[in-house]
């Protein structure tokens, strides 16, 4: 199984004192599923894992939509509180870091703070973070190892509609402009397919395929 092979690769990495893993892809690419399965496989391999999602570091809606509720650049540049992400999660797991971290600080659904208790990670722990925009220039040097999940846009939108119970699966729909064009901006600027350690075709959730 591919994820078992990838987990073995991660488990073999030398911690400094931690290992930092990113699972990146557009909305609906299957990031949380892959990250969850990778976490299980790493634990089965005997590694201690902290699994977090970048969605726990959203900015308040007023800041996310400051450029307009449908603005693609605002989606890419303003969605996340990168300072909080770095301070509370990435800095503690950085080379020589102290490991005292929080896995989330904000709940976008309620548009209010939801601050996790601080927890201490032991040396050798693997941090697995899933979410969009993880290979953006501000974060690219943060990862020891990373995945980019490649999935056809129409498939990802169908998954989002099935997951959320709302929206349109049409990439050209006006309601998708913020997200589709925001992701295209990210792809052009950050080139995550080149930055990632591996690219995985995740069009079939049951049979991911290693592309690079």
- Domains of the chain, CATH where assigned: 2-194 (3.40.50.300)
Average pLDDT, the chain: 96
**Structure-token pair, residue 27:** 């909305």
192, 151 contact by CB (below 8 A): no
Structure tokens, 159: 């998954």
Would you state the pLDDT for residue 164? 84
Give the pLDDT score at 165: 82
Tokens (6 digits) for 107: 């709940």
Give me the residue label for tokens 């950050």: 190
52/33 Cα distance (integer angstroms): 12
Is residue 125 a contact partner of residue 50, using CB atoms and an 8 Å limit? yes
Nearest Cα residue to 38 out of 70, 63, 6: 6
pLDDT tens per residue, range 49-61: 999 999 999 999 9
pTM of this prediction? Answer: 0.96
pLDDT in tens, 11-24: 999 999 999 999 99
From the list 198, 187, 74, the residue with the least C-alpha distance to 144 is 198
Residue of 15, 11, 28, 5 lying closest to 157 (CA atoms): 28
Q: What is the pLDDT along the chain (212 residues), one digit of tens a residue?
A: 899 999 999 999 999 999 999 999 999 999 999 999 999 999 999 999 999 999 999 999 999 999 999 999 999 999 999 999 999 999 999 999 999 999 999 999 999 999 999 999 999 999 999 999 999 999 989 999 999 999 998 899 899 888 888 888 888 888 889 999 999 999 999 999 999 999 999 999 999 999 97
* Distance, CA of 159 to CA of 56 (rounded, Å): 21
The bridge status of strand 209-210 relative to strand 198-201 is antiparallel
Contact (CB, 8 A) for 120 and 99: yes
């Amino acid at each position: 199984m591919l994820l078992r092979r990838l987990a073995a690769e991660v488990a073999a990495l030398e911690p400094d004192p931690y290992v930092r893993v990113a699972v990146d892809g557009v909305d609906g690419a299957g990031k949380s599923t892959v990250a969850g399965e990778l976490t299980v496989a790493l634990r089965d391999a005997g590694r201690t894992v902290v699994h977090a999602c970048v969605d726990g570091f959203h900015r308040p809606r007023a800041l996310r939509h400051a450029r307009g509720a449908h603005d693609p650049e605002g989606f890419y540049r303003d969605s996340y509180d990168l300072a909080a992400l770095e301070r509370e999660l990435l800095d503690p797991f950085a080379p020589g870091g102290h490991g005292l971290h929080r896995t989330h600080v904000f709940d976008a659904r309620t548009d209010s703070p939801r601050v996790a208790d601080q927890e201490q990670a032991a040396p050798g722990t693997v941090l697995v973070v899933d979410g969009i925009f993880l290979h953006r220039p501000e974060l690219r040097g943060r990862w020891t190892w990373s995945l980019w999940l490649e999935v056809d846009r129409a498939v990802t939108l169908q998954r989002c509609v099935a997951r959320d119970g709302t929206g349109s699966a049409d990439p050209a729909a006006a309601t998708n402009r913020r997200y589709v064009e925001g992701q295209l901006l990210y792809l052009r600027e950050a080139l995550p397919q080149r930055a990632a350690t591996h690219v995985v075709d995740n069009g079939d959730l049951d049979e991911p395929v290693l592309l690079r």
